[in-house]
Chain A
């Protein structure tokens, strides 16, 4: 009896094996995301965006007649991401790994893929160092953290200085950032870019996001009197700083946040009107549809409706990043005509999508292997938004803008009286 059962099980395993062989006609792509654990919410959301891209391709008969399927792998933390990536490559025999939403997971897992000469396609992790290792099989569609800081500095140079009628060489810039990897990469990039542009950087201060008091930074800015502050903060420190800035009557002409704290709905909820008119750099959502090529505008609409139908809500930035990443990947596989890593790598380097060609508005052109940011989409960039009536509206770059930027910020005294003195 026992032998019979054993025999049956062996047969079952063999049959299952045959099935997986017969379905090998599909393009099987590893999908490495934190599907469970603390990062699960946005991990799943991101992957859902990619699922819509897959649906769109499969409905049209797949890529060259071969359908696309995801092989899901759950990378809850960097350690697990490594073992799961190894499993995808060794056991599931995938040729492409798509992921990962979180930078630390991506950084760890892409190491494994590179060693095995397997394509690692990153759509969501923004840490600069992911594409600073000269990897040949790694590609990233989303902008880097540093691009957020660069964007803020460019805006000061191109828009703020002329509007306020201050010579860019004389405009005083204060930079503050929380001292983890995120804040440091954005803040340092902003400082570097500001110095390249010749802006007068009067203070560069970092702090721990876990602090319960930021009065010392407020005091430093009061002493150095910057015209512009560029800040990179998480939620609690962004709120703390703005409250203490009000307590001590710190007035600046322009305040630019660079993602995280300054872009969250909690900002408006906490400050109401007092949170208005500050700027924030974030990935391009809600941009002016004029940027899009005609077919991209249709695609964006199609994506939003399908997503809402399948998942019950409209996609926000993470799902959009998942969609854009998957869409460009599938296009690249189509171009390569196979999922052989070498062929995909060559095809990826020839991808040339102009501005307006993705639903993020930016185009796609990957940096070649000898570039310092090998594999990075050099056309990816965030946009600058402004809090108006407790909502974010895109104001820069001009082609993406839906509103005019308003400056200078009203002083706290003006705010109390409901006055503003914007320069037209």
Chain B
């Protein structure tokens, strides 16, 4: 195969892995709690700041900071769910939207207030490291992000398949009333699911910071794509989010090169609309 095409596939997959990791938390939260978390991008921003400051103040490597970020964001998720999401679970959808949009604005402005609008970057020894194999160029931190993302998504899938808590989460996603009748602690399960969703996006932030930079509204750059990926994958399918993320990444790489960088967003939205027309429940969704 042509080297350019191979390179484009590599670029697309690396990018798509990142999209998948950001989207997977959103899918989990939507699939289980049926809440659209508009503040998802802001949690990404917070975790990027988290690992930025861990690096700046204590010299913690961003990848190592995952050990702190993951549990921390899990608990932040629990807390946020308990205080802001739980009370509105039974509220009309419009109110739920207002709540998460409001949360997003509060977090964004809080970050602006505390950390100002400056762009902040982390400089690690591997930030600009590139692996060269057979003429292909693979950015090391992007590769690590991709592999860790795949690892975490597999672990999450395994967790949902094998453990009692995982099974309760899936049960709730399928049929809430029946799950309640079977004696599943609905509210605790909701909290855990939300916590896991936020921990996922927290991990994404720590993996992004070596290649990207953080400022208060950085989340808005990623979150729109995350929504596209979620719908493309089929709203509540984690495998769908993974495949959806990779598809968007590869489509972006190819259309940017062969058509125009200017139109790449337009092109994945066209694909998005086409899929919705022919498969309204997304690629992996069940009605």
- On A, residues with C-beta under 8 Å from B are 179, 205-208, 210-217, 219-220, 223, 235-236, 239-240, 243-244, 246-249, 266, 269-270, 272, 274
* Contacting residues of chain B (58-90) with chain A, CB-CB under 8 angstroms: none
CB distance from B130 to the nearest CB of A (A): 5
Is B128 part of the contact surface with A, judged by Cβ < 8 Å? yes
* Contact status A217-B221, CB under 8 Å: no
* Contact status A215-B119, CB under 8 Å: no
* Contacting residues of chain B (106-142) with chain A, CB-CB under 8 angstroms: 118-119, 121, 123, 127-128, 130, 132, 137, 139, 142
B-chain residues with CB within 8 Å of residue A214 when the two chains form the complex: 261
Bound CA–CA A248/B211 (angstroms): 13
Is B40 part of the contact surface with A, judged by Cβ < 8 Å? no
* Contact status A179-B262, CB under 8 Å: yes
Bound CA–CA A214/B139 (angstroms): 14
A-chain residues with CB within 8 Å of residue B264 when the two chains form the complex: 207, 211, 216
CB distance from B209 to the nearest CB of A (A): 13
Please count how many residues in chain B sit with their CB below 8 Å of the partner chain's CB atoms: 34
Bound CA–CA A212/B11 (angstroms): 12
Name the residue of chain A whose CB is nearest to the CB of B260.
A205
* Contact status A249-B137, CB under 8 Å: yes
Is B189 part of the contact surface with A, judged by Cβ < 8 Å? no
Name the residue of chain B whose CB is nearest to the CB of A416.
B128
* Contact status A212-B212, CB under 8 Å: yes
- 17 of the cross-chain contacts (CB-CB < 8 Å) are A205-B262, A207-B261, A207-B262, A208-B262, A208-B265, A210-B220, A210-B221, A211-B221, A211-B265, A216-B11, A217-B261, A219-B11, A235-B119, A239-B121, A246-B128, A248-B137, A249-B137
A-chain residues with CB within 8 Å of residue B225 when the two chains form the complex: 212
* Contact status A239-B213, CB under 8 Å: yes
Bound CA–CA A220/B262 (angstroms): 12
Which residue, B4, B15, B262, B265, has most C-beta atoms of chain A within 10 A? Answer: B262
Going nearest first, the 5 A-B pairs with the smallest beta carbon separation are A216-B256, A247-B139, A207-B261, A206-B262, A215-B11
* Contact status B119-A220, CB under 8 Å: no
Known: A213-B253, A236-B119. 18 other contacts (CB 8 A): A206-B261, A207-B262, A211-B221, A211-B261, A211-B264, A212-B15, A212-B212, A212-B222, A213-B15, A214-B261, A216-B255, A217-B261, A240-B212, A243-B127, A247-B130, A248-B7, A248-B139, A270-B121
Query: At the interface, is chain A mostly helix, strand, loop or mixed?
Result: helix
Bound CA–CA A246/B7 (angstroms): 15
CB contact between B252 and one of A216, A240, A269 (< 8 Å): that residue: A216
* Contact status A219-B257, CB under 8 Å: yes
A-chain residues with CB within 8 Å of residue B253 when the two chains form the complex: 213, 215-216, 219
A-chain residues with CB within 8 Å of residue B119 when the two chains form the complex: 235-236, 239, 266, 270
* Contact status A217-B256, CB under 8 Å: yes
* Contact status B128-A247, CB under 8 Å: yes
* Contacting residues of chain B (1-19) with chain A, CB-CB under 8 angstroms: 4, 7-8, 11, 15
B-chain residues with CB within 8 Å of residue A272 when the two chains form the complex: 123
Bound CA–CA A53/B152 (angstroms): 62
* Contact status A216-B257, CB under 8 Å: yes
* Contact status A220-B128, CB under 8 Å: no
* Contact status B213-A220, CB under 8 Å: no
CB distance from B269 to the nearest CB of A (A): 12
* Contact status B261-A205, CB under 8 Å: yes
Mark interface residues in B252-287 (1 if CB within 8 Å of A CB, else 0). Answer: 110111001110110000000000000000000000
B-chain residues with CB within 8 Å of residue A212 when the two chains form the complex: 15, 212, 221-222, 225
Name the residue of chain A whose CB is nearest to the CB of B128.
A246
Bound CA–CA A344/B256 (angstroms): 51
A-chain residues with CB within 8 Å of residue B142 when the two chains form the complex: 247
Bound CA–CA A176/B40 (angstroms): 31
* Contact status A223-B4, CB under 8 Å: yes
* Contact status B128-A219, CB under 8 Å: no
Name the residue of chain B whose CB is nearest to the CB of A177.
B262
CB distance from A338 to the nearest CB of B (A): 44
Bound CA–CA A212/B8 (angstroms): 16
* Contact status B262-A215, CB under 8 Å: no
A-chain residues with CB within 8 Å of residue B139 when the two chains form the complex: 244, 247-248
Given contacts A211-B264, A216-B252, contact A266 B118 (CB under 8 A): yes
Bound CA–CA A179/B257 (angstroms): 17
A-chain residues with CB within 8 Å of residue B211 when the two chains form the complex: 243
* Contact status B213-A236, CB under 8 Å: yes
B-chain residues with CB within 8 Å of residue A248 when the two chains form the complex: 7, 130, 137, 139
* Contact status B256-A243, CB under 8 Å: no
Name the residue of chain A whose CB is nearest to the CB of B22.
A212
CB distance from A47 to the nearest CB of B (A): 21
A-chain residues with CB within 8 Å of residue B128 when the two chains form the complex: 243, 246-247, 274
* Contact status A220-B257, CB under 8 Å: yes
B-chain residues with CB within 8 Å of residue A249 when the two chains form the complex: 130, 132, 137
Bound CA–CA A235/B121 (angstroms): 12
* Contact status A219-B260, CB under 8 Å: no
CB distance from B113 to the nearest CB of A (A): 14
Bound CA–CA A264/B282 (angstroms): 43
CB distance from A172 to the nearest CB of B (A): 18
Bound CA–CA A179/B215 (angstroms): 21
Mark interface residues in B213-251 (1 if CB within 8 Å of A CB, else 0). Answer: 101000011100100000000000000000000000000
